[in-house]
């Protein structure tokens, strides 16, 4: 079946399967929290999020060894995470920037689409600071952050959280809808032959962000590569065992069974990590402890700056940039010689 055919089947199937899917869905009071990006250059990354997007560092945490739930990816060494966003994590969809010490590059796949933000200020800032961007033809701009991750900036100013969507690509839209809508219980806001938009009802009380699933072009295989991210949701802690049990009963993947994760000096949270049919990792975390863990830390920006200074990785990227500039100059001289 072609990609277009799969998409058409998805759009038609949603109507016919509405009630069947509803009876299969998890009964979970979930809200969308954040997306995880792996980053290699913290200095340039922070500059982009703060000076272009207008986000702020909400909290920063350092860890001496790899996460028991692979929050930092398949790495066992020292790592950090910096939560950045437009406001409190209880009412805003934010970004988790994961940094693995010693890792200087992550290969991008074709899985992640974009995060959509409504902000005319960000569009202007991106243009002024000459970040690579592509117009959408309607005043919006697709701009790449350091590391290559795309943000879709659209004109206007939001009354609340400016983050409106997170989009990633899927191989089979019907299969993905069976999982995200039919099993995980996300409400279908819109669906066409090529894309679907979903959200949890609890998101109407907090973040406005919705999840967009977009069908890959026909013949293109989904590739997560080394930069693959993870999406996180919270729900009451007493619902986590039910989430794990339901996923197991339906024969889907549990990446990390229910486990407690410690953060030095902060709350301990319980999480269970799932994987959808395309291999996207999905973290469900107990909401009560997460609200305690995710309190804004006024020292967050200072902690990030101190960690970057102590790391000394800026020297590596500066030398790399100098070598690239020298090669470009030599190539230019050779072409004119």
pLDDT in tens, 155-171: 999 888 999 999 999 99
Confidence bin at 26 (pLDDT 50/70/90):
confident
Tell me if 242 sits within 8 A of 197, measured CB to CB: no
Q: Regarding beta strands 210-215 and 163-170, do their DSSP bridges make them parallel or antiparallel, or are they unpaired?
A: parallel
pLDDT of the residue at 316:
53
Residue 337 clears pLDDT 70, i.e. is over it: no
Please report, rounded to a whole number, the percentage of residues in the chain having pLDDT higher than 90: 72
* Residue in 44, 67, 35 with CA at minimum distance from that of residue 318: 44
Q: How far is CA 258 from CA 183, 186, 245, in A?
A: 18, 21, 10
Beta-strand (E) ranges in the chain?
31-39, 56-63, 79-85, 94-100, 112-118, 133-135, 141-144, 150-154, 163-170, 187-191, 195-199, 210-215, 230-235, 253-261, 269-275, 281-286
Which stretch of DSSP H or E encloses residue 276? none
DSSP-assigned letter for residue 220: P
Range 247-251 contact pairs with CB under 8 angstroms and sequence separation of 24 or more: 247/183, 247/274, 250/24, 250/183
Q: What is the pTM of this model?
A: 0.86
What tens digit of pLDDT does each residue of 250-273 get?
A: 999 999 999 999 888 888 999 999
Q: How far is CA 161 from CA 85, 95, 139, 253, in A?
A: 9, 13, 20, 32
Buried b (16+ CB within 10 A) or exposed e, 241-265: eebbebbeeeeeeeebebeebeeee
Number of neighbours of residue 75 by Cβ within 10 angstroms: 17
Residue bearing tokens 């693959």: 228
Q: At what angle do helices 300-311 and 313-336 cross, to 10 degrees?
A: 60
The 3-state DSSP composition of the chain as helix, strand, coil percent (nearest 5) reads: 35, 30, 35
Residue 5 clears pLDDT 50, i.e. is over it: no
What tens digit of pLDDT does each residue of 283-334 get?
A: 999 999 999 999 999 999 999 999 999 997 656 556 555 655 666 666 666 6
Of 66 and 116, the structure prediction assigns the larger pLDDT to 116
What tens digit of pLDDT does each residue of 186-237 get?
A: 999 999 999 999 999 765 555 679 999 999 998 899 999 999 999 999 999 9
Q: How far is CA 218 from CA 7, 114, 171, 174, in A?
A: 10, 20, 9, 14
């Amino acid at each position: 079946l072609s990609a277009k055919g799969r998409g058409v089947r998805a759009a038609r199937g949603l109507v016919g399967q509405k009630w069947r899917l509803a009876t299969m869905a998890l009964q979970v009071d979930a809200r969308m929290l954040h997306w995880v990006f792996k980053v290699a250059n913290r200095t340039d990354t922070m500059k982009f999020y703060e000076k272009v997007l207008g986000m702020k560092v909400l909290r920063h945490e350092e860890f001496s060894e790899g996460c028991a739930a692979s929050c930092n990816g398949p790495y066992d060494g020292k790592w950090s995470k910096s939560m950045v966003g437009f406001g409190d994590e209880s009412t805003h969809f934010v970004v988790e920037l994961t940094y693995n010490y010693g890792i200087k590059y992550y290969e991008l796949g074709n899985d992640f689409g974009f995060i959509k933000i409504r902000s005319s200020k960000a569009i202007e800032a991106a243009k002024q600071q000459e970040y690579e961007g592509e117009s959408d033809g309607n005043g919006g701009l697709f701009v790449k952050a350091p590391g290559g991750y795309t943000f879709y900036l659209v004109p206007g100013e939001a009354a609340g959280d400016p983050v409106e969507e997170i989009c990633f690509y899927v191989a089979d839209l019907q299969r993905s809808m069976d999982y995200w809508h039919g099993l995980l219980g996300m409400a279908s806001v819109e669906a066409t032959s090529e894309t679907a938009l979903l959200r949890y009802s609890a998101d109407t009380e907090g973040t406005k962000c919705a999840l967009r699933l977009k069908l890959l072009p026909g013949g293109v295989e989904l590739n997560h590569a080394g930069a693959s991210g993870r999406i996180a949701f919270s729900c009451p802690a007493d619902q986590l065992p039910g989430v794990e049990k339901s996923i197991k009963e339906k024969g889907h993947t549990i990446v990390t069974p229910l486990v407690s994760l410690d953060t030095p000096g902060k709350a301990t949270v319980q999480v269970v990590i799932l994987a959808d049919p395309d291999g996207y990792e999905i973290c469900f975390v107990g909401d009560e402890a997460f609200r305690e863990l995710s309190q804004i830390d006024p020292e967050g920006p200072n902690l990030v700056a101190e960690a970057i200074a102590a790391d000394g990785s800026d020297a590596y990227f500066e030398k790399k940039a100098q070598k690239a500039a020298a090669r470009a100059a030599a190539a230019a001289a050779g072409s004119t010689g």
